[in-house]
Structure 1
Amino acid sequence: MKYFDIAFLHTNDVHSYVESFGKKFKFVEIIREENDRKNIPTFLVDCGDVFSGSVYFQLFHGDEEIKLMNKMKYDAMALGNHEFDNGDLVIKKLNQNANFPLVATNLRSEEFKIHSSLEWEVGGHKIFVLGATTLDTMNTATPPDSIQFHEPIKALKQEIKALKSQFPNASFILLSHLGYEEDIALTKEINDFQLIFGSHTHTVLTQPVMSNHTAIFQAGKYGQYMGHAHIRFYENQSFEILKYDFINFEEYSEVDEDVQRHINSLKEIKTQKFSEKIAVLKEDFDGERDSLRKGHTNLSQLILQALLQAGKKTGLNVEAALFNGGGIRASLPKGEVKYNDVFNVLPFAKRILLVEILGIDLKEALKTGMNPLSYGIKMEDDQLFILEKNQFELVEDSKKYYIVTNDFVKNGKDYFTAFQNAKTIQDLGLDIEILANYLKENFKPPVIS
């Protein structure tokens, strides 16, 4: 029976952890050279969440990740939810600067170039690469209105049907940003994919998992791992995994010197910025997720006070501050605080906005929003009160209030839907900068003479 061999290298959920790229570049170079000698084509793919989550995104806003992926010559990338943490910032940069195509079968946009499928040809055989982006993106991130999200399985079925009508013997591969359990469930609905390269749940699969004749792969998180699959495709659309290597770059010693020099220069910039001492705390400030799920902690109160102070500096009568508790990701321990510690607390670089909102919308948002944390707002006997001129007053449906929040809440994410009706008065800056400045002003480190 006729067959052809292909090698795939796959990554996922890098989250701007760029420090392993020197090793990854060298590994990919070695694999490509070995496969070229055997006349085996090699495709390098990423399954989304390349961006957001480390200090490097905070410093370079995605530019360095794109440069490094271009240098490694990626062949395709799926879109994850964190590609939309900052609205259209990343998708614009990808469209302008990436040398590799983006694929998301369940996304549609007239403004941005997003492929519903990619066509590759090996030995005269058609291979179609599809992509799937989680619908959670609409509630956990801030995608632009110019991108429409559709149900993944339905969109994938429609695309496959259209392609199979023209190319009945083609092979199908999915770059999925749905999560491991969702990938398993998908194979019960769609049996056309030979391979699914997955992401989103940060699952470490040292060997592929078979589900309904589909091989599922996923390579952990933060750039620590990469998978290398050598696949033999047969003309009857069956396939065989001839070899699979799962690389842990913490244990890998070879490195590309040129790429590593560039990484080292980025590390120096990071060290200078994030080692800055900004405050000394006399107590621990609790940002643990279990604590925040139960309500306020001293850290959430501290952050809200910082946001409220930023709003009051506008000179307007700002009544309260409110944001989503899920945005806090770490505690601040007693003692010296560096900029890096503040980043760990608020790693998603959200814009802080002063908004004007009707009382009726504020009430509705607090009813539906997920884990709302506020300062200057309280609920008593099923009635909402807001702090005005140092005393709490009943919130009136038709009255407008000045509230400080982040762009995540303002865009109605985490079910703060009514905040979409609010009017933005002023952009106050990044949450991490506002908190860092508040700490500098109120918790100054001692001056050593």
Structure 2
Amino acid sequence: MQNKTLVLLILLSLVFSCKQDLSLTKIEGKQIPITDSIVADSDIDNFIKPYRESLEKDMNKVLSYAPETYHKNDGEYNTAIGNLMAHIVLKEGNTIFNKRTGENIDIVLLNHGGIRAPINKGNITTETAFQVMPFENSIVVVALKGAQIDSLTHYLSQSKKAHPIEGLQLTIDKDFNITKALVDNQPIDSNKTYYVATNDYLYNGGDRMRFFKTNDTVYSLDYKIRNAMIDYFSKVDTIRPVIDNRFIQTK
């Protein structure tokens, strides 16, 4: 009995003497690069091969042709590619909007930063549309009174960027004051309702475009801008966008 008690005391002494506070002092790791030296799994490769080939075929399908390279920084307040994007949203989006409501889109406003790649000279493919517009943004049409259109034009005059627009003509002076603002070549009527097409990101306040939230109604077209681009390119043999006088500054 005494021996058992002695053994128990020795074990307890060892337990308590070994107890100590543990803390993490170092983490080590190493990078394992993925290179051609890693052997592909033939079973997996054979399984995905038909899907990969089908996707590549779809992405490489030629839709239209660009006689020049169009970049979003080619102009000061409007660019050829931005004008093209706004035109596509108006043309393709209005077909759906008019069929549903009997109304027509008056203005298109997109954001300069939403154009993520140039349209290069040569064949325009499905992949081109994915490169220019990689986001899942969809077209929405917002009903705005003339007062909100004034807020929209003020935003454009102060942003100092070539945000894509269509249906709106805007002139600012050297101090960025608006000297002319027309919708369909007419002065803005404060009592009139205008239908403005944009994307869901901007409608929700993206790029600080908060004027969209003060609206009468919003219509979601369930139509991605990228899909509108693909539909438009499929109908046009050669694109010919230009920089014009829709948004200019007088010096």
- TM-score scaled to structure 1, two decimals? 0.41
Q: How far does the alpha carbon of each residue in 1:218-254 deviate from its partner, in whole angstroms, 9 at most, with x for none? A: xxxxxxxxxxxxxxxx954332123x22233245513
* Distance in 1 between residues matched to 2:155 and 2:135, nearest whole Å: 22
Matched with 2:209 is 416
Matched with 2:56 is 271
- TM-score scaled to structure 2, two decimals? 0.70
Aligned residues: 205
Higher Rg: 2
Matched with 1:425 is 219
* Distance in 2 between residues matched to 1:284 and 1:397, nearest whole Å: 40
Deviation of 1:433 (Å): 1.4
Which of these residues, 169, 191, 194, is aligned with residue 401 of structure 1? 194
Q: How far does the alpha carbon of each residue in 1:368-393 deviate from its partner, in whole angstroms, 9 at most, with x for none? A: 476432122233352562332xx2x2
User: CA RMSD, aligned part only?
Assistant: 2.7
Matched with 1:240 is 26
Q: How far does the alpha carbon of each residue in 1:94-150 deviate from its partner, in whole angstroms, 9 at most, with x for none? A: xxxxxxxxxxxxxxxxxxxxxxxxxxxxxxxxxxxxxxxxxxxxxxxxxxxxxxxxx
CA shift in 2, pair 1:431/1:240, >3 Å? same
Q: Could you tell which deviates more after superposition, 406-415 or 314-323?
A: 314-323
Work out whether residues 365 and 415 of structure 1, in 8 Å CA contact, stay in contact via their aligned partners in 2.
Answer: no
Matched with 1:355 is 142
Higher strand share: 1
Matched with 1:377 is 168
CA shift in 2, pair 1:353/1:278, >3 Å? same
Q: How far does the alpha carbon of each residue in 1:143-174 deviate from its partner, in whole angstroms, 9 at most, with x for none? A: xxxxxxxxxxxxxxxxxxxxxxxxxxxxxxxx
Which of these residues, 227, 230, 234, is aligned with residue 440 of structure 1? 234
Q: Where in structure 2 are there 5+ consecutive unaligned residues?
A: 1-19, 172-176, 240-251
Matched with 1:321 is 108
Deviation of 1:431 (Å): 0.8
Matched with 1:299 is 81
The 5-angstrom pairing of residues 178-257 of structure 1 reads: 235-242=21-28, 244-257=29-42
Q: How far does the alpha carbon of each residue in 1:341-399 deviate from its partner, in whole angstroms, 9 at most, with x for none? A: 121011112101222122222332454476432122233352562332xx2x2223443
Q: Where in structure 1 are there 5+ consecutive unaligned residues?
A: 1-233
* Distance in 1 between residues matched to 2:47 and 2:25, nearest whole Å: 40
AA paired with 1:435?
M
Seq. identity, %: 20
Deviation of 1:443 (Å): 2.3
Matched with 1:334 is 121
AA paired with 1:424?
V
AA paired with 1:240?
K
Higher helix share: 2
Query: Relative contact order: is structure 1 or structure 2 higher (C-alpha 8 Å, sep ≥ 6)?
Result: 2
